[in-house]
Amino acid sequence: MATGTAVDVVMPQMGVSVSEGTITKWLKSEGEQIAADEALLEISTDKVDTEIPSPASGVVQKILAQEGETVAVGTKIAVISPGDGAAQAPETPPEPATTQAAQASEAAAGAEGETPTAERVEDAREAEPAAAETVETPPEPAPQAEPAPPEAEQAPAPEPVAAAPEPVAAAPEPVAAAPEPDGDGRPQGKFVSPVVARIAAEHDVDISQIEGTGRGGRVTKKDILQHIESGPAQAPVAPAEEEAQAPAAPAPQKQPPAPAAAPAAAPAGAGEIVEPMSAMRKGIAEHMRRSLDTSAHVTSSIEVDMTKIASLRQKLKKEWADAYGVNPTYLAFVARAVVETLKDYPWINGEIRGDSIVTRQFVNLAFAVELADGKGLIVPVVKNAETLNLLGLAKAIADVAKRAREKQLLPDDVQGGTFTITNPGGYGTFHGTPIISQPQAAILGTYAVVKRPWVVEDELGEDAIAIRSIMNLTLTYDHRLVDGALAGRFLRDLRERLESWDESAE
Amino acid sequence: MPLPKTSRRPTTSDDSLMAVMTYLQAISDGLRQEMRRDKRVFVIGEDVGVYGGAFKVTQGFQEEFGPWRVIDAPLSETAIVGGCTGAAIMGMRPVAEMQFADFISCAWDHLVTVAAKQRYRAGTPVPITVRLPSGGGFSGGPFHSQNPESSFAHIPGLKVVCPATPADAKGLLIEAIQDPNPVLYFEHKHLYRRIKDEVPDERYTVPFGEARVHREGDDLSVITWGAMVYTADEAAQKLDEEGISVEILDLRTLAPWDKEAVLRSVEKTSKALVLHEDTLTGGFGAEIAATIAQEAFENLDAPVRRVAAPDTPVPFAPVLEKAFIPQVDDVVAGLRELADY
């Protein structure tokens, strides 16, 4: 009765370095109709909260990961069945193949090194990065999986070899199919009934770990249900840890497995409220700690007379509001001055990468943006800020800040920053020591602009006390790379740029 | 003439009267009520009038309704069903009695070629009810013991009803008479006087296509109908003593049949046994097993089993007949196989 092939929904890869995501909310429940590209769920990764659209029109047949669950990228989290949903479109076989493709190839290579399949497995390992997608629809796992009796091994092996002139193209199939008998833990020769196979797939249970009470030791439905009920909660397979190169956005380091179980193990004391940590909070916590463990943090401050810019702002405000709908913020001025100044201080816009120092001919300016509820922070990036004038920067900052608060950022928006500006001054603070966003070299803090009595030179060259708009700037830098004198010169030049703002240059 | 609105289910409210009736009395009661209520209803069959029917279902009917509504027909099933078809097309509601279900083969052409297709071809409803005393268990031999329901369940345009309880026998008969299509009503002879139960006095109907959970259970599902419901029940009691919980689904009607109820039960137990008194090959159990295999595949923890009569004519000798018709022990053995699987 199935009217078509069911479509799997998998946890998407929200950026190169992101290895897992947390389901924050299902927007559809099982049995509900959904159109292609309609929002299906909300997820939260280390840095991005976003909606995931449905890959197909149909009915949400199955939801395989619940709200709050954190699963590896590529994990099947739902099934959309085309049509009106009355039909159950079973597609269990491909599913285990997909989730196990990675470890399966290893198992195969390790287990049967001398069999004819060995070379094919190696091909497959080369092709592995692509396999995640290719393996999705293995057309013939069934015939491959059948030859369970040991002596039958020569039967399946030669046939695919002969049939596949192109090893690389054909490789993913044997990888998915061949290791299945032991790869999914099925005891050799023991039949797995459809319902047991389905339950095992849904709960990610290794059937070989269950003692069967059925005929010939077969694992029955009762056995597996009992196992699931009594056994330890089977956490989703932790993906292999990978340290990606690119991300300037706080790269998600894989958490040790313990924290996953921790919330349950921390009972609330009297008067305490225990709430689970969001994926973002975990990401921030991990990154803050790691940054302090990585860089030698030192902070220098400087006071900047913003009076000229304050009056310029007054002038521009109306003009810009009418013409562009943009506010000429102090932050925009600072950012513009920072970009110009960084040109002269490439190390402050640089990075320590292994034993090398990396500098750039561009500035990807990151901005710390507080989220609406005050719980959490995101650091969107304005790419190639050196190409933008004051207006362009003001617009770009407003744009990413708005999208950050509305959870509309794309993965790309939070990656690749080379220098960060954080602006806690909105609350009146005049000093702070921010933590560097790894793997950058420095972070600039901007603080409240306050009117102060200030010693200035009058037109006669005499000292005089005037009321000026003063702002503190801090540069927190990685002392491994940036010396104090360099930081001081940077701050001096930055102050100079701001105090003698050249409007005509914009 | 619009018919009065009737309740769809036997009610058990305090104000309704319940009498204990045999399965046969319940059929008789339903037929009599419908004849009293609707002047278009008449019965026709061999010996249904003066003699009151071979099994006495219509005893006293001719006295109450007269010879024009309780018609003794010649020994010709062709004539009976052919006459009914014509009368139905002209607006009557005939209820034909085959003396034995086995004899309906003579009326095949009228039923299958004409009655089943008339509505489709000409748009004319053919509201015939054919009562079919069926089933064995009393040495009736090959011409008086068969259960030919699957042949007719295969014919689009016919409805097939197989009540197991007195209450269903009455409610399904009334539903059959008021249904605008030809309905084959299989009444199991072995249940006639053996099965007694409470039956509401009032007129009611039991809808087609809704299975009845005869017994609730968790481990195994038995899907059956007719007299086999009781065989299954005895088998279930035996397994219950061993701690195996058996659910029994009484389909009540085969065309239409309650697929959803079967799939629900299989989803729960994951192991199904289909049981019928008819012979195995091409029996209606094959349809059920195939449906389970196709639509509940991922819920199965064992192959679907069928327990049915072997593919031979029904033997006359009591010992052989006992070996032929599925017995409690046969069902127990089949259920054990499933439980052990």
Q: Say how many CB pairs under 8 Å bridge A and B.
A: 34
Kindly report the nearest CA distance between residue A177 and chain B, in angstroms.
Answer: 20
- Candidates 2.40.50.100, 2.60.40.10, 3.40.50.450, 3.40.50.620; correct CATH number of A7-81? 2.40.50.100
pLDDT value, residue A230: 81
How far is it between the farthest Cα atoms of chain B? 60
Mean pLDDT in chain B?
94
- What is the residue extent of each domain of chain A? 7-81, 187-238, 284-505
Amino acid A104 reads A
pLDDT value, residue A39: 87
Q: What is the 3-state secondary structure (H, E, C) of A360-406?
A: CCCCCEEECEECCCCCCEECCEECCHHHCCHHHHHHHHHHHHHHHHC
pLDDT value, residue B321: 96
pTM of the model: 0.49
Q: Side-chain half-sphere of B120: how many Cα atoms within 13 Å?
A: 11
Note which residues in 240-299 of chain B have CB less than 8 A from chain A: 270, 294-295, 297-299
What is the average per-residue pLDDT within A9-25?
A: 78
Tell me the per-residue pLDDT of B238-264, one tens digit each, with 9 for 90 and over.
Answer: 999 999 999 999 999 999 999 999 999
Tell me the C-alpha distance between A111 and A120, whole Å. Answer: 13
Kindly report the nearest CA distance between residue A186 and chain B, in angstroms.
Answer: 16
pLDDT value, residue A406: 81
pLDDT value, residue A15: 64
Tell me the C-alpha distance between A429 and A426, whole Å. Answer: 7
pLDDT value, residue A190: 74
Q: Side-chain half-sphere of B35: how many Cα atoms within 13 Å?
A: 23
Exposure string over A138-173, b if 16+ CB within 10 A, otherwise e: beebeebbebbeeeeeeebbeebbeebeebeebbbb
Higher pLDDT, A101 or A474: A474
Is pLDDT at A38 greater than 60 in this prediction?
A: yes
Structure token digits, residue A476: 């927190």
pLDDT value, residue A428: 86
Name which of A242-251, A290-299, B146-155 the model is least confident about.
Answer: A242-251
What is the average per-residue pLDDT within A39-61?
A: 83
Exposure string over B193-221, b if 16+ CB within 10 A, otherwise e: eebbeebbeebbbbebbbbbebbebebbb
pLDDT value, residue B18: 83
Confidence of residue A505 (pLDDT cuts 50, 70, 90): low
> Could you tell me the domains of chain B?
18-200 (3.40.50.970), 212-340 (3.40.50.920)
Task: Report the CATH fold assignment for A284-505.
Answer: Chloramphenicol Acetyltransferase (3.30.559)
pLDDT value, residue A254: 42
Is pLDDT at A61 greater than 50 in this prediction?
A: yes
Tell me the per-residue pLDDT of A324-347, one tens digit each, with 9 for 90 and over.
Answer: 888 999 999 999 999 999 999 999
Contact residues for B255 (Cβ-Cβ < 8 A; gap 6+): B152, B153, B158, B159, B160
Tell me the C-alpha distance between B131 and B187, whole Å. Answer: 7
Find which of A62, A196, A220, A226 to mutate to test the B interface (most B CBs within 10 Å of its CB): A220
Tell me the per-residue pLDDT of B299-329, one tens digit each, with 9 for 90 and over.
Answer: 999 999 999 999 999 999 999 999 999 999 9
Please answer yes or no on whether B300 and A92 come within 8 Å at the CB atom.
no
Q: Does B15 touch chain A (CB under 8 A)?
A: no
Is pLDDT at A102 greater than 60 in this prediction?
A: no
ipTM over 0.95: no
Q: Which residues of B touch A214 (CB under 8 A)?
A: 340-341
Please answer yes or no on whether B299 and A215 come within 8 Å at the CB atom.
no
Find which of B264, B300, B301 to mutate to test the A interface (most A CBs within 10 Å of its CB): B301
Task: Report the CATH fold assignment for A187-238.
Answer: Dihydrolipoamide Transferase (4.10.320)
> Is A413 in the active site?
no
Contact residues for B110 (Cβ-Cβ < 8 A; gap 6+): B78, B81, B82, B85
Sheet holding A20-26, edge to edge: A49-53, A39-44, A20-26, A70-72
Tell me the per-residue pLDDT of A172-193, one tens digit each, with 9 for 90 and over.
Answer: 333 333 334 444 444 455 789 9
Tell me the C-alpha distance between A316 and A327, whole Å. Answer: 8
Mean pLDDT in chain A?
74
Q: Which residues of B touch A215 (CB under 8 A)?
A: 340-341
What is the average per-residue pLDDT within A143-147?
A: 42
Of A88, A90, A195, the CB nearest to B270: A195
Tell me the per-residue pLDDT of B4-50, one tens digit each, with 9 for 90 and over.
Answer: 444 445 544 455 578 999 999 999 999 999 999 999 999 999 999 99
Please answer yes or no on whether B297 and A193 come within 8 Å at the CB atom.
no
Name which of A89-103, A254-268, B130-144 the model is least confident about.
Answer: A89-103
Tell me the C-alpha distance between A117 and A167, whole Å. Answer: 11
Tell me the C-alpha distance between B274 and B334, whole Å. Answer: 10
Kindly report the nearest CA distance between residue A142 and chain B, in angstroms.
Answer: 16
Structure token digits, residue A99: 């989730």
Is pLDDT at B192 greater than 70 in this prediction?
A: yes
Contact B30, B171 (CB under 8 A): yes
Is pLDDT at A392 greater than 50 in this prediction?
A: yes
Confidence of residue B76 (pLDDT cuts 50, 70, 90): very high
